[in-house]
Amino acid sequence: MRHLLLFTLALLALCARADQSATEPPLSEKSKAQALQVLTEALADKAISRQQYDEALAWVRLSPCDGVNRSLSAARKLQLGQAIARQQKLKKVDIYQSFSEAGWSIIYVGTHVSDNGYFFYSGDPLAAAHPVNVWGGAAMVFETTEIAQWVSSNVKGIPARLAKCFAWHVTLNRDV
């Protein structure tokens, strides 16, 4: 009985660890405080408008990635790396992150020939001839709404939650 209990506890611990890696963690209180400080200073310096400030505050309070699958096994990384390298006619790519929902995927890729990029796929990236679109660059917290709008306009058909998760991630939680 004791061995069964230990086995069950070990299995639960592994499942909990797997679940944690499969989702985007919410902003920590420290990260929220830092974002709020930057926003307050930007507003005081008139670097952003009141509308940008209010929208950014709303994004800081959200967790739009809840329910978006972020899991990425070593085997899946290898498969994606080979497929995307073939699609892009590159020798090698590095796969850093994945976001998936409702048959759509966003894959964060290092190509070794240009800046890292987020590749958007409307189906299985392994079977695709090429991504629907690619986004690269940096964005600030007060640009979250604009990034979400860019995705919705330039990646037709993407689920709204996935577009919002992406925008929130690249502006507020990118270091995850």
Write the pLDDT tens digit of every residue in 89-105: 999 999 999 999 999 99
Nearest to 141 by CA among 109, 176, 173: 173
Residue 12 has pLDDT above 80, yes or no: no
Q: How far is the C-alpha of 128 from the C-alpha of 169, rounded, in Å?
A: 24
Q: How far is the C-alpha of 176 from the C-alpha of 173, rounded, in Å?
A: 6
Place of tokens 């007060």: 142
Place of tokens 């498969």: 79
Average pLDDT over residues 35-61: 95
Q: What is the pLDDT of residue 106?
A: 98
Q: What is the pLDDT of residue 10?
A: 30
Q: How many residues does the chain have?
A: 176
